Structure 1
Amino acid sequence: MTVAPALVQLQSNLRAEARAEPAPAPSGPVTKETQIIAIYGKGGIGKSFTLANLSYMMAQQGKKVLLIGCDPKSDTTSLLFGGRACPTIIEVSSRKKLAGEAVAIGDVCFKRDGVYAMELGGPEVGRGCGGRGIIHGFETLEKLGFHDWGFDYVLLDFLGDVVCGGFGLPIARDMCQKVIVVGSNDLQSLYVANNVCSAVEYFRRLGGNVGVAGLVINKDDGTGEAQRFAEAAGIPVLAAIPAHDDIRRKSANYEIIGRPGGQWGGLFGELATAVGDAPPRRPTPLSQDALLGLFSAHATGRDVVLEPATLQDMCGRESLARPSLEVVYDAA
Structure 2
Amino acid sequence: MLDLGALRNEANQEPDPVPTGPVTKETQIIAIYGKGGSGKSFALANLSYMMAQQGKRVLLIGCDPKSDTTSLLFGGKSTPTIIETSSKKKLAGEDLAIEDVCFQRDGVFAMELGGPEVGRGCGGRGIIHGFETLEKLGFHEWGFDYVLLDFLGDVVCGGFGLPIARDMCQKVIVVGSNDLQSLYVANNVCKAVEYFRKMGGNVGVAGILINKDDGTGEAHAFAKAVGIPVLAAIPANEDIRRKSANYQIIGKPGGEWGPLFEQLALNVAIAPPQQPAPLDQDGLLALFKPEDTGGNVTLMPATQADMRGAAYVPKPSLEIIYDAV
TM-score normalised according to structure 1 size: 0.88
Change (3 A) 1:264 1:66: same
> What residue number does 2:281 align with?
288
Which residue in the other structure is 2:21 paired with? none
Q: Judge conservation of contact 2:25–2:145 (CA < 8 Å) in 1.
A: no
Matched position secondary structure for 1:167:
helix
Quote how far apart the aligned CAs of 1:98 are: 1.0
Query: Structure 1, residues 79-134: CA drift from partner, whole Å, max 9, x if none?
Result: 11111110110001111111111110011101111110000011111111111110
Matches of 2:322 and 2:251, distance apart in 1: 73
Q: 1:46 aligns with which of 36, 39, 49?
A: 39
Residue identity opposite 2:180 in structure 1: L
Aligned length: 302
Aligned letter for 2:119? G
The answer as to whether partners of 1:36 and 1:176 remain within 8 angstroms in 2 is: yes
SS at match of 1:215: strand
* Partner AA of 2:109 in structure 1: Y
Structure 1 partner of 2:5: none
Looking at structure 2, the residues matched to 248 and 119 of structure 1 have their Cα atoms a distance apart, in angstroms, of 24
Match in the other structure for 2:149: 156
Deviation of the 1:327 alpha carbon: 3.2
1:1-332 alignment runs, 5 A limit:
33-161=26-154, 163-332=156-325
Question: Identity across aligned pairs (percent)?
Answer: 80
Q: Deviations over 1:158-192 (max 9, x none)?
A: 01136321111000100001111100111111111
Higher alpha-carbon deviation: 85-94 or 286-295: 286-295
Structure 2 match to 1:26: none
CA distance in 2, matches of 1:271, 1:166: 28
Amino acid at match of 1:250: K
Contact kept? 1:161, 1:167, Cα under 8 Å: no
Note if contact 1:162-1:196 (Cα within 8 Å) is conserved in structure 2.
no
Look up the equivalent residue of 1:141 and give its one-letter code. L
Normalising by structure 2, report the TM-score. 0.90
**Letter in structure 1 aligned against 2:126:** G
Q: Equivalents in 2 of 1:156, 1:163: separation in Å?
A: 16
- Partner amino acid, structure 1, of 2:269: G
Match of 1:57, as an amino acid? M
Offset of 1:205 from its aligned partner?
Answer: 1.2
Q: 1:331 to 1:94 in 2, by over 3 A?
A: same
Structure-2 separation of matches of 1:59 and 1:317: 69
Residue 4 of structure 1 aligns with which residue? none
Give the SS at the match of 1:250: helix
Which AA in structure 2 matches 1:261?
A: G
Show structure 2 runs of 5+ residues with no match.
1-23
Q: Which consecutive aligned stretches of 4+ in structure 1 deviate over 4 angstroms post-superposition? A: none
1:187-232 Cα shifts (integer Å, max 9, x gaps)? 1111111111111111111111111111100000001111111111
User: Contact 1:162/1:195 (CA < 8 Å) preserved in 2?
Assistant: no
Aligned partner of residue 159 in structure 2, secondary structure: coil
Q: Distance in 2 between matches of 1:227 and 1:162?
A: 24
**Separation of aligned partners in 2, 1:242 and 1:259:** 17
Deviation at 1:325, TM superposition (A): 3.5
Name the Cα RMSD after superposition. 1.3
- Distance in 1, matches of 2:81 and 2:322, equals 62
Instruction: Output one character per residue of 1:115-157: Cα deviation in whole Å (capped at 9) or x when no partner.
Output: 1000001111111111111001000001101000000100000
| C-alpha displacement of 1:270 | 0.7
Contact 1:65 / 1:115 at 8 angstroms: preserved in 2?
A: yes
Partner of 2:18: none
Query: Are the equivalent residues in 2 in contact too, given 1:43–1:159 (CA < 8 A)?
Result: yes
1-structure distance, mates of 2:318, 2:61: 58
C-alpha distance in 2 between matches for 1:318 and 1:132: 50
Structure 1: 5+ residue runs without aligned partners?
1-30
